[in-house]
DNA sequence: CGCGGCATGTTTTTT
DNA sequence: ACATGCCGCG
């Protein structure tokens, strides 16, 4: 059943080498070929956008299999998304002419997940461990903050978890952190952290960060296991290396510790995940850490026109922290980049839709067009405008399918079936749909479980429930029955069958059907889609169609992973999601100061440079045509907000753009008169004269609220009465 | 215990 | 503007 084709190395070596070899020489340039042929030892490929890094990696894997006869099971390939992994696998199999089932090709998280299922017991994980997403984590942390008797406002679960996560990304553990700090709040934080890890352990669960950390610990603390895995992977290849974090770096190091054949490719100018702990130094310092590194630079760009390339390069050259790179193309200079200035976001969306309509009518296929933006919230208006123009489209990201409440509720049952210690999943499913188990009963069960050191579900099964009110006892009994029946089925059935049974037996579907509202109907539809997805998973994963494998897979899905556009559909996504993709035409929307670059990044030079890299990524997705749009006004939190054109547009050499190329508006907007005081709410009352960068002077008519969130009603002689949010308005007081 | 109403944060990006 | 999450009442 598994792949024997690839192992037919005699055949390959004797007959097909000349043909295959020409494939490598014909479809790669010299520098790429050099990277492919450098199979032994550490190799660093540092090169700009569209220079064929991913192609190099893909062909290199094929080369290892075809030319060196390496078994796929000895190859580890790491990509940034599951989708990229799927595409690379497909391409490599195409090149090799056969299935490569044994090859490990996936994201860091998927790979660690697999490793931990096999050897996780070495770091205290059960084989059925759960993976907690952000919501699960927050639930856990909220309960802990509550149990500690702390103020949930002061110790906001999200924030606490954010701090913990950034520590984890930097490989700091609670024990190391504690001695470093005297600050009482931080000491409390460490206690929360420790309690959080204990809680995870009790639930036999890991969060996303832990998946990587546990895998590293497994390899670092256990010589035998490190040997086992490091020997297994004779060749390791990592794409998008500029966006790896410290933990991933250690992981790579440990895995490469035996054979040392490690190829990493990336572009420091495309490092856009530092907020998630990515360390661009990983790629820049690679040669120092891996002795004898062969460094390869790819300088020919195969994707974009000369003008696009020049514009992108000119903008990113404004970053101080970077490796200068040469990038050239044999192609045409092509069109100029077009800049459009619009009065508001509605006009922006309308214009994009109209231009796309024209393109499509002119014969361009929708799938060759992308609309990119900085924030997901931006997608809505654009989508509406496309719908109005009857342009078929797909939105990538935003609320993911598997993040919908009804999907998570249903999967919570299955998580308890797989891992009965998963208290968060238990808490989510036990009273959904309502079966009479309220807060009182839950708290009581929690107390009991805590006292006996058991998980909630185990406590429920093993404990004496006689003290509970009849109503909740019935509910509990019903729940146990559902779970146990599912468990019995799960022994032999696959993911599709079990999802089906869950929908039927949990009463969830019935609850929605009884509801009958529009909202409920759409939820029912989603659940039926969940069922399809479970069935499809079982069909496409014959080696392990279990519900456990299914849950693991969906826990690690990103929005982009389910992206499979058809010929007609235009793609809408954030620039982050667009990393690694390419389109004939790219529309970049929302190019305003405060939105892109985003306000929060404008204070720190480091973060501003990341915004600029993001812009570089956006523009370099395009092959032929780039449109850059900005709106003078835009609603934010339901409030109208006025902005000026993004500095990134101004950083493009004027000769490369057409359209709204006039110089910055009146300088007075930027050089505030020294006499003018920055407006704060205390100083503003009805009657106050204020100055606005766009509307000029106006008289305050009313003030609602207080502080930076105050909403002002201001009458401007030329523009009429406007409501402004003080936080964003950038007003100065002219006269009190 | 469950519902409905209000308050709150959200719009930075995601494995 | 909108969704989620919390609280208090029936
Ligand atoms: N040697 C080559 N000859 C022709 N086309 C090539 C060659 N190498 C790569 N390409 C094409 O150039 C485009 C970009 O390649 P690829 O995605 O591998 O670049 P990349 O460096 O990974 O880009 P990015 O960093 O922007 O994600 C693709 O369309 C690819 O097919």
pLDDT-based confidence at residue A13 (cuts at 50, 70, 90): very low
Ligand 1 centroid vs A148 CA: distance in angstroms? 54
Q: For A34-54, what is each residue's pLDDT tens digit?
A: 999 999 999 999 999 999 999
Residue A580 reports pLDDT greater than 80: yes
**Residue closest to B14, CA→C1'?**
A558
The residue whose C-alpha atom lies closest to atom 14 belonging to ligand 1 is A50
A576 touches strand B (CB under 7 A): yes
Residue A219 reports pLDDT greater than 70: yes
- Whole-number pLDDT of residue A10: 37
> Whole-number Å distance, CA A636 to C1' B10?
10
Residue A114 reports pLDDT greater than 60: yes
Q: Which nucleotides in chain C lie less than 7 Å from some protein C-beta?
A: 1-2, 4-6
Provide the pairing of β-strand A711-716 with A696-704.
antiparallel
Q: What residues have CB less than 8 Å from A684, skipping those under 6 apart?
A: A690, A700, A703, A710, A712, A726, A731, A733
Residue A19 reports pLDDT greater than 60: no
pLDDT average, residue stretch A65-87: 92
**Residue closest to B8, CA→C1'?**
A153
- Whole-number pLDDT of residue A149: 82
pLDDT average, residue stretch A457-466: 87
Share of chain A above pLDDT 70, in %: 87
- Whole-number pLDDT of residue A724: 63
How far is residue A295's CA from residue A410's CA, in Å, rounded to a whole number? Answer: 49
pLDDT-based confidence at residue A667 (cuts at 50, 70, 90): very low
- Whole-number pLDDT of residue A14: 40
3-state SS assignment for residue A36: helix
Q: For A604-617, what is each residue's pLDDT tens digit?
A: 888 999 999 999 99
- Whole-number pLDDT of residue A4: 36
> Whole-number Å distance, CA A133 to C1' B9?
20
pLDDT average, residue stretch A517-525: 79
Task: Find where tokens 């931006």 sit.
Answer: A378
Which residues are A634's β-sheet partners? A641
The residue whose C-alpha atom lies closest to atom 12 belonging to ligand 1 is A302
- Whole-number pLDDT of residue A557: 77
Q: Which of A67-71, A263-267, A544-548, A557-561 has the least mean pLDDT?
A: A557-561
Residue A353 reports pLDDT greater than 60: yes
pLDDT average, residue stretch A413-423: 93
Q: Which numbered atom of ligand 1 lies nearest the CA of A617?
A: 26
Read off the pTM. 0.84
Bigger pLDDT: A399 vs A726: A399
pLDDT-based confidence at residue A710 (cuts at 50, 70, 90): low
Residue A614: which nucleotide is closest by CA–C1'? B13
Residue A252 reports pLDDT greater than 50: yes
> Whole-number Å distance, CA A706 to C1' B1?
38
A34 CB burial (10 A radius; 0-12, 13-18, 19+): middle
How far is residue A498's CA from residue A537's CA, in Å, rounded to a whole number? Answer: 12
> Whole-number Å distance, CA A589 to C1' C5?
32
> Whole-number Å distance, CA A439 to C1' C8?
15
How far is residue A414's CA from residue A83's CA, in Å, rounded to a whole number? Answer: 25
3-state SS assignment for residue A300: strand
Question: Catalytic residues of A, which ones?
Answer: 53-54, 239-240, 270, 621
pLDDT average, residue stretch A322-336: 89
Q: What residues have CB less than 8 Å from A317, skipping those under 6 apart?
A: A324
Residue A636: which nucleotide is closest by CA–C1'? B11
**Residue closest to B3, CA→C1'?**
A434
pLDDT average, residue stretch A4-29: 56
pLDDT average, residue stretch A27-32: 93
Q: What are phi and psi of A725, to 5 degrees?
A: -90, 120
Residue A699 reports pLDDT greater than 60: yes
CA angle A227, A232, A236 (to 5 degrees): 110
Ligand 1 centroid vs A580 CA: distance in angstroms? 9
pLDDT average, residue stretch A549-564: 80
**Peptide bond before residue A454 is cis, with ω within 30 degrees of 0:** no
Residue A253 reports pLDDT greater than 80: yes
Ligand 1 neighbours, Cβ below 6 Å, are A 28-29, 32, 49-55, 267, 270, 302-303, 580, 582, 620
pLDDT average, residue stretch A77-90: 91
Bigger pLDDT: A682 vs A546: A546
- Whole-number pLDDT of residue A287: 94
Q: Which numbered atom of ligand 1 lies nearest the CA of A28?
A: 1
Q: What are phi and psi of A571, to 5 degrees?
A: -105, 135
- Whole-number pLDDT of residue A725: 63
CA angle A128, A131, A135 (to 5 degrees): 140
Q: For A713-722, what is each residue's pLDDT tens digit?
A: 677 666 666 6
How far is residue A182's CA from residue A179's CA, in Å, rounded to a whole number? Answer: 8
A641 touches strand B (CB under 7 A): no
Bigger pLDDT: A13 vs A293: A293
Q: Annotate A625-666 with DSSP letters as a single string.
A: EEEEEEEEEEEETTEEEE--B-HHHHTS-GGGEEES-PPPS-
3-state SS assignment for residue A327: coil
- Whole-number pLDDT of residue A418: 93
A472 touches strand B (CB under 7 A): yes
Q: Which numbered atom of ligand 1 lies nearest the CA of A55?
A: 18
- Whole-number pLDDT of residue A370: 94
A159 touches strand B (CB under 7 A): no
Running DSSP on this structure, what letter comes out for residue A53? H
Residue A469 reports pLDDT greater than 90: no
A109 touches strand B (CB under 7 A): yes
Task: Find where tokens 């080696």 sit.
Answer: A543
Residue A671 reports pLDDT greater than 50: no
The residue whose C-alpha atom lies closest to atom 16 belonging to ligand 1 is A52
Ligand 1 centroid vs A50 CA: distance in angstroms? 5
- Whole-number pLDDT of residue A2: 35
């Amino acid at each position: 059943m598994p792949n024997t084709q690839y192992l037919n190395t005699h055949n390959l070596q004797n007959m097909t080498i000349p043909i295959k070899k020409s494939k490598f020489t014909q479809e790669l340039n010299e520098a790429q070929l050099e990277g492919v042929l450098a199979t032994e030892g550490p190799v660093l490929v540092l090169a700009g956008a569209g220079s064929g890094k991913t192609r190099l990696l893909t062909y290199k894997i094929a080369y290892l299999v075809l030319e060196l006869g390496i078994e796929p099971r000895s190859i580890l390939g790491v990509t940034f998304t599951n989708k990229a992994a799927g595409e690379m696998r497909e391409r490599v199999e195409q090149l090799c002419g056969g299935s490569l089932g044994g090859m490990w090709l996936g994201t860091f998280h998927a790979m660690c997940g697999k490793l931990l299922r096999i050897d996780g017991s070495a770091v205290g994980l059960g084989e059925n461990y759960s993976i907690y997403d952000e919501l699960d984590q927050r639930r856990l942390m909220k309960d802990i903050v509550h149990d500690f008797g702390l103020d949930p406002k002061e110790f906001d679960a999200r924030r606490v978890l954010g701090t913990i996560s950034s520590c984890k990304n930097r490989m700091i553990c609670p024990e190391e952190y504690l001695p470093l700090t005297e600050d009482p709040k931080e000491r409390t934080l460490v206690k929360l952290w420790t309690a959080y890890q204990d809680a995870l352990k009790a639930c036999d669960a890991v969060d996303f960060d832990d998946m990587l950390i546990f895998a590293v610990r497994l390899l670092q603390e256990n010589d035998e296991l490190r040997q086992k895995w490091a020997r297994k992977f004779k060749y390791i290849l990592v794409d998008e290396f500029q966006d790896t974090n410290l933990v991933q770096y250690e992981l790579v190091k440990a895995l490469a510790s035996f054979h040392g054949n490690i190829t990493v490719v990336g572009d420091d100018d495309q490092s856009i995940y530092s907020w998630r702990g990515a360390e661009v130094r990983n790629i820049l310092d690679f040669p120092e850490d891996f002795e004898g590194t062969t460094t390869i630079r790819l300088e020919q760009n195969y994707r974009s026109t000369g003008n696009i390339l020049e514009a992108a390069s000119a903008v990113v050259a404004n970053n101080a922290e970077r490796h200068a790179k040469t990038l050239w193309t044999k192609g045409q200079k092509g069109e100029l980049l077009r800049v459009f200035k619009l009065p508001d976001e509605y006009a922006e969306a309308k214009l994009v839709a109209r231009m796309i309509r024209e393109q499509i009518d002119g014969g361009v296929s929708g799938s060759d067009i992308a609309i990119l933006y900085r924030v997901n919230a931006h997608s809505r208006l654009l989508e509406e405008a496309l719908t109005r123009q009857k342009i078929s489209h797909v939105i990538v990201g935003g609320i993911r399918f598997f993040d919908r409440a009804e999907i998570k509720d249903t999967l919570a049952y299955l998580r308890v079936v797989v891992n009965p210690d998963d208290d968060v999943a238990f808490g989510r499913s036990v009273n959904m749909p309502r079966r009479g188990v309220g807060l009182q009963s839950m708290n009581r069960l929690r107390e009991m479980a805590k006292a006996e050191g058991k998980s909630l579900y185990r406590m429920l099964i093993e404990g004496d429930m006689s003290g509970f009110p009849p109503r909740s006892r019935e509910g509990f009994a019903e729940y146990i029955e559902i779970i146990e029946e599912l468990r019995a089925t799960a022994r032999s059935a696959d993911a599709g069958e079990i999802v089906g049974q869950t929908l039927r037996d949990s009463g969830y579907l019935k609850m929605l059907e009884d509801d009958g509202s529009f909202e409920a109907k759409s939820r029912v539809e989603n659940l039926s889609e969940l069922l399809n997805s479970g069935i499809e998973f079982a069909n496409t994963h014959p080696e392990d169609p279990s519900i456990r494998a299914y849950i693991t897979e969906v826990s690690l899905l990103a929005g982009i992973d389910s992206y499979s556009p058809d010929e007609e559909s235009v793609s809408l996504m954030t620039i982050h999601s667009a990393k690694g993709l390419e389109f004939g035409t790219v529309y970049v929307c929302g190019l305003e100061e405060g939105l892109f670059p985003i306000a929060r990044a404008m204070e720190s030079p480091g973060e501003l440079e990341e915004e600029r890299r993001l812009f570089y990524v956006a523009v370099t997705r395009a092959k032929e045509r780039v449109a850059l749009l900005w709106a003078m006004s835009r609603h934010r939190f339901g409030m109208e907000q006025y902005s000026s054109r993004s500095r990134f547009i101004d950083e493009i050499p004027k000769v490369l753009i057409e359209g709204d190329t006039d110089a910055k508006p009146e300088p007075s907007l930027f050089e505030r008169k020294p006499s003018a005081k920055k407006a704060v709410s205390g100083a503003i009352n009805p009657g106050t004269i204020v100055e606005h960068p766009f509307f000029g002077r106006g008289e305050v008519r009313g003030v609602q609220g207080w502080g930076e969130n105050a909403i002002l009603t201001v009458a401007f002689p030329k523009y009429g009465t406007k409501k402004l949010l003080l936080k964003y308005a950038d007003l100065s007081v002219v006269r009190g």
